[in-house]
Amino acid sequence: MGAVKTKRMPRAVREQQMLDAAVRTFGQRGYMAASMDEIAELAGVSKPLVYLYLNSKEDLFTACIRREAAALTAAVRAGVHPELAADRQLWDGLRAFFTHTAQNPDGWSVLHLQARTHGEPFASEVAAMRAEIVAFVTELILAAAREAHRDPDLPEREVAGLAEALVGAAESLAAWANATPGVTETEAAATLMNFAWSGLGNLMAGRPWTPPEAAAQTSG
Amino acid sequence: MGAVKTKRMPRAVREQQMLDAAVRTFGQRGYMAASMDEIAELAGVSKPLVYLYLNSKEDLFTACIRREAAALTAAVRAGVHPELAADRQLWDGLRAFFTHTAQNPDGWSVLHLQARTHGEPFASEVAAMRAEIVAFVTELILAAAREAHRDPDLPEREVAGLAEALVGAAESLAAWANATPGVTETEAAATLMNFAWSGLGNLMAGRPWTPPEAAAQTSG
Amino acid sequence: MGAVKTKRMPRAVREQQMLDAAVRTFGQRGYMAASMDEIAELAGVSKPLVYLYLNSKEDLFTACIRREAAALTAAVRAGVHPELAADRQLWDGLRAFFTHTAQNPDGWSVLHLQARTHGEPFASEVAAMRAEIVAFVTELILAAAREAHRDPDLPEREVAGLAEALVGAAESLAAWANATPGVTETEAAATLMNFAWSGLGNLMAGRPWTPPEAAAQTSG
Amino acid sequence: MGAVKTKRMPRAVREQQMLDAAVRTFGQRGYMAASMDEIAELAGVSKPLVYLYLNSKEDLFTACIRREAAALTAAVRAGVHPELAADRQLWDGLRAFFTHTAQNPDGWSVLHLQARTHGEPFASEVAAMRAEIVAFVTELILAAAREAHRDPDLPEREVAGLAEALVGAAESLAAWANATPGVTETEAAATLMNFAWSGLGNLMAGRPWTPPEAAAQTSG
DNA sequence: TATGAATGAGCATTCATTCAT
DNA sequence: CATGAATGAATGCTCATTCAT
Judged against a pLDDT cut of 70, whether residue A25 lies above it is answered with yes
What's the CA–C1' distance between B35 and E10, in Å? Answer: 10
CB-nearest to D164 from C157, C173, C187 is C173
Mean pLDDT of chain B: 85
Burial classification of residue A89, based on how many CB atoms lie within 10 Å of its CB (0-12 exposed, 13-18 middle, 19 or more buried): buried
Closest nt to residue C35, judged CA to C1': E15
Mean pLDDT in residue range B29-47: 96
Of C165, C147, C19, the closest CA to residue C83 belongs to C147
- Provide DSSP, B127-195: HHHHHHHHHHHHHHHHHHHHHTT------HHHHHHHHHHHHHHHHHHHHHHHHSTT--HHHHHHHHHII
pLDDT at B3: 42
Closest nt to residue C40, judged CA to C1': F3
pLDDT at B220: 32
Contact call for A199 and B204, based on CB within 8 A: no
Closest nt to residue C48, judged CA to C1': F3
Contact call for D199 and C197, based on CB within 8 A: yes
Give the up-direction half-sphere exposure of residue C103: CA atoms within 13 A in the CB hemisphere. 13
Judged against a pLDDT cut of 60, whether residue B201 lies above it is answered with no
Q: How far away is chain B from the Cα of A168, in angstroms, using its nearest Cα?
A: 5
Judged against a pLDDT cut of 50, whether residue C142 lies above it is answered with yes
Task: Identify residue A39 by its one-letter amino acid code.
Answer: I
pLDDT band per the 50, 70, 90 thresholds, residue A37: very high
Mutate to test the interface with B, among A57, A58, A117, A167 (most CBs of B within 10 A): A117
Pairwise CA distance, residues D149 & D214, whole Å? 26
pLDDT at A3: 43
Contact call for B173 and A183, based on CB within 8 A: no
Residues 50-69 of chain B with CB under 7 A from strand F are: 52
Judged against a pLDDT cut of 60, whether residue A201 lies above it is answered with no
> What is the pTM (predicted TM-score) of this model?
0.85
First-to-last C-alpha distance (Å) of chain D: 26
Mean pLDDT in residue range A64-84: 95
pLDDT at D78: 95
Contacts of D183 in chain C (CB under 8 A): 157, 161
CB-nearest to C204 from D145, D166, D206 is D145
Mean pLDDT in residue range C117-134: 93
pLDDT band per the 50, 70, 90 thresholds, residue A2: very low
Over the stretch A97-112, which tens digit does the pLDDT of each residue have? Answer: 999 999 999 999 999 9
Judged against a pLDDT cut of 50, whether residue C216 lies above it is answered with no
**Residue at minimal CA–C1' distance from E15?**
C35
Mean pLDDT of chain A: 85
Alpha-carbon A3 to chain mean position: 26
Residue, of D1 and A220, whose pLDDT is higher: D1
Closest nt to residue D55, judged CA to C1': F13
E strand intervals along chain C = none
pLDDT band per the 50, 70, 90 thresholds, residue C214: very low
Closest chain C CA to residue D200: C197
Over the stretch C172-201, which tens digit does the pLDDT of each residue have? Answer: 999 999 888 888 988 898 888 888 877 655
Over the stretch C159-168, which tens digit does the pLDDT of each residue have? Answer: 888 899 999 9
8 Å CB contact between C173 and C191: yes
Over the stretch B50-102, which tens digit does the pLDDT of each residue have? Answer: 999 999 999 999 999 999 999 999 999 999 999 998 888 988 999 999 999 99
8 Å CB contact between B199 and A196: yes
Tell whether omega for the bond before C121 is within 30 degrees of 0, i.e. cis. Answer: yes
Contact call for A195 and B165, based on CB within 8 A: yes
| DSSP designation for C209 | P
Judged against a pLDDT cut of 70, whether residue C217 lies above it is answered with no
Mean pLDDT in residue range A131-135: 93
**Residue at minimal CA–C1' distance from E14?**
B48
**Residue at minimal CA–C1' distance from E19?**
B8
Mean pLDDT of chain C: 85
pLDDT at A213: 46
Instruction: Region of C4 please: left (phi>0), alpha (psi -120 to 50) or beta.
Output: beta
Judged against a pLDDT cut of 80, whether residue B213 lies above it is answered with no
Mean pLDDT in residue range B151-156: 66
Q: How far away is chain C from the Cα of D186, in angstroms, using its nearest Cα?
A: 12
Closest chain A CA to residue B113: A117
What are the mean pLDDT values of chain D's consecutive 10-residue runs (220 residues total)?
Answer: 62 95 96 96 95 96 97 96 89 94 96 94 94 92 75 72 92 92 88 76 53 42
Residue, of C206 and B122, whose pLDDT is higher: B122
Give the up-direction half-sphere exposure of residue A141: CA atoms within 13 A in the CB hemisphere. 30
Contact call for A203 and B168, based on CB within 8 A: no
Contacts of C203 in chain D (CB under 8 A): 154, 162, 199
8 Å CB contact between B75 and B99: yes
Pairwise CA distance, residues A161 & B183, whole Å? 10
Determine the 3-state secondary structure of A86 from DSSP. helix
